[in-house]
Amino acid sequence: MATAGRPNWATRWFLLAFPPLVALTVWWEGQHFDPGLIRFDSPAGQTTPAATSRLPARLADRPRAGAVRAYDRANLYEYVNGHAEYYIGAGFEGLTVTEYGPDQAAPGIVVDVFDMGRPVHAFGVLADEAGSGTQPLPGDPAAFPTGSGVALAHGPYFVRASLFDKSLEPAAVAAEIRAALGGDAASSPGDLAFPPLGAVLGTRFVKESYRGIDALANVMERRFDVGGRELVAFLIEEDAAGIDRRVSELLAFFDRDGIEHAPRAVGRVTVHAVRDRYEGDWFFWADGGRLTGVLAPLDEALAAQVARHQEAGQ
């Protein structure tokens, strides 16, 4: 019998052998370790949609300097630290960074091509970054001058070109980038078909659950100054079938949550006036491939504005 308060021989053996066994196990597992288990970048052989640059070897008669750099969701913060979450929330899928002459240490042009997945996402980011009051380049409603160069939307790509050589013309560089990217540039929204409610204060993009409503996704929101009063409107552009589906989902949501809504003929469209106990009174209408809403009660002045907007063919 073992003496009380003292471990028997089996316990002693276990206590002495346990640390070496743990060390041996850790060593063995380390020899068979799969680094892919903790790697946060893309697995070998798999690339993001933007991982191969579509830009040319020369841009604005300057040679490419150094290798094209690629980023994905895991390491985007290394390039846009503090702003990566914004791009990811807006649909980001990949980024390539390409530098052009004279050398990588002092490039004349740096081109960032963000693959945002869908044209509306790319244009939404462009609208956000352009800010209020910035006018697009002449003849190109999806390209804006920036403090460092030019930014544009081209299909699913948001492109930012920093022009460190100030002799470069932003419009010419934008046109050359568009030609290199190819594809359907027209799929990028151009002039947004908001009703002309007043002076534009700002435009932003909301990817999903606009104002907490799941049916309102990929929304462009614009703020207007109407005689000193701020008015907010929103716009969704997609195919007519998609807009019809969104309207059906909205009406079903209102009925399910007991939110009052009533249709009213205004011009050639049906406007739905909503009395929301949480969001206040607002209204919306669908017309072909657009769903437009105004976050204000539907009074006679706004109804007349909607009718004029329709008569203008918008």
* The predicted structure's pLDDT at residue 83: 87
Half-sphere exposure of 235 (CA within 13 A, CB side): 21
Q: Cβ distance 216 to 99 under 8 Å?
A: no
Residue type, 240: A
Handedness of CA 206, 212, 217, 222 (dihedral sign): negative
Q: Cβ distance 263 to 284 under 8 Å?
A: no
Q: Name residue 160's beta-bridge partners.
A: 112, 151
* The predicted structure's pLDDT at residue 157: 92
Q: Where are the domains of the chain?
A: 58-187, 199-311
Record the tokens describing residue 254, joined without a space. 């209102």
| pTM strictly above 0.85 | no
Virtual torsion, Cα 72, 77, 79, 84, nearest 10 deg: 80
CATH classification of 199-311 is 2.70.50, yes or no?
no
* The predicted structure's pLDDT at residue 23: 54
* The predicted structure's pLDDT at residue 199: 84
Q: Cβ distance 109 to 100 under 8 Å?
A: yes
Record the tokens describing residue 208, joined without a space. 């999903």
Closest Cα partner for 217 from 29, 41, 91? Answer: 91
Record the tokens describing residue 223, joined without a space. 């703020």
Closest Cα partner for 263 from 303, 229, 223, 301? Answer: 303
* The predicted structure's pLDDT at residue 3: 46
Please state, in angstroms and rounded to a whole number, the distance separating the CA atoms of residues 208 and 90.
9
Helix spans in the chain (H): 9-31, 84-89, 119-130, 170-181, 240-257, 300-311
* The predicted structure's pLDDT at residue 234: 94
Record the tokens describing residue 189, joined without a space. 């929204």
Record the tokens describing residue 198, joined without a space. 């007043």
What is the residue-level pLDDT of the chain in tens, covering all 314 positions? 444 455 555 555 545 555 555 455 544 444 443 333 333 333 333 344 443 567 889 999 999 998 899 999 999 999 998 889 999 988 899 999 999 988 767 889 999 999 998 888 888 888 888 876 677 888 787 888 988 899 999 988 999 999 998 889 999 999 999 989 886 555 555 556 888 888 878 778 888 889 889 999 888 888 888 888 999 999 998 889 999 999 999 999 999 999 999 999 998 889 999 998 888 999 999 988 889 999 999 999 898 888 888 777 65
Please state, in angstroms and rounded to a whole number, the distance separating the CA atoms of residues 127 and 125.
5
* The predicted structure's pLDDT at residue 106: 80
